Every structure is written in C-alpha cells, then in structure tokens.
Amino acid sequence: MNKTVALYVGLAAVGVGAVLALVFFGRKLFDTSGTPYEGAGAVGALGNAFDKASGGTLSSVGTQLGETVYNWFNPPDTSADVYYAVQFPDGAKHSISARDIDSSGYFTPNRSVYTWSIGGRWRIGYNNAGLRVAVPA
C-alpha cells in the first residue's frame, strides 16, 4: 500500500472515530444546561467542554479575573464605613454617616440609627481651627 493512501486511510479512521465519539459522548460533553454557559450556543458549548476537561479550573480562574476587572470599573460602595465627627452649635459632637449626606452636602440627622435627635437640615462646614462643624441650612 502506498504511504499516501495509508495516511489518508489513517486520517479517515481518526475522523470517523472522532465523529463516533461525538455521537456517543458529545451529548454529555457539550450539554450546557444548568451551567454558566447555558444558552451561549456553540461558543458556550466549547467553553463548557474545556471547563469540564480542566476540572473546573478554567471557570474559577475566569470568575476571579472577571470579578477583579468588574471591581476596577465598579468599585464597591464603602461609604457605609465613613463617618464624620461634627460639632454642633450647642457644643455636642456627633458622628454623621457619609450615607446621610446628600449630593449637595446637606444632611438631616433624624434617622433611627442615631441615638440622639436634633431637628433641621445641616451641612458640614469648617471653623477657623479647621474642625468640622454643623452649619444650619
């Protein structure tokens, strides 16, 4: 038998074997239902197949990279952790949460989270000593 013919017969056998493997095992290998790749078409099926072959390593690395990039462009809101110490005209000092200060710089400290109550609308200003003071709006 000619070497070229033998090569073509061998390649055909490999191709037939690959088609048979896809017929028998492809359904499970390319089934994306219940996975992050569900409904993503042929690309999702390939992604699912590679993820299964890697034992889930690819998806965990991809998830980590995706979360990191997302947080670069959408940083988490940390204003819940920021408080300003403000001195009111009666001399009392209170902490004001950054979440209570609106976009124009005003706040109304009458929420239930505060253990003290003072009426009115205020803004944060600075006195001559550079300390934060509550200024009536």
DSSP string, the chain: --HHHHHHHHHHHHHHHHHHHHHHHHHHHT--TTSTTTT-HHHHHHHHHHHHHTTTHHHHHHHHHHHHHHHHHS----GGG-EEEEE-TTS-EEEEEGGGS-TTSEE---STT-SS---S-EEEEE-TTS-EEEEE-
Task: Give the whole-angstrom CA distance, residue 108 versus residue 86.
Answer: 13
The answer to whether 136 touches 122, Cβ cutoff 8 Å, is yes
Task: Give the whole-angstrom CA distance, residue 97 versus residue 57.
Answer: 42
Give me the pLDDT at residue 18, please. Answer: 65
Tokens of 10: 């061998």
Give me the pLDDT at residue 136, please. Answer: 87
Give me the pLDDT at residue 46, please. Answer: 72
In this predicted model, what pLDDT tens digit does every residue of 77-115 receive, in sequence order? 666 678 888 888 888 888 888 888 888 888 887 665 565
Give me the pLDDT at residue 89, please. Answer: 85
Sign of CA dihedral 24, 30, 34, 38: negative
Give me the pLDDT at residue 76, please. Answer: 72
The answer to whether 102 touches 96, Cβ cutoff 8 Å, is no
In this predicted model, what pLDDT tens digit does every residue of 1-58 receive, in sequence order? 567 767 666 667 767 666 666 656 655 666 666 676 676 666 677 777 777 777 778 7
pTM: 0.40
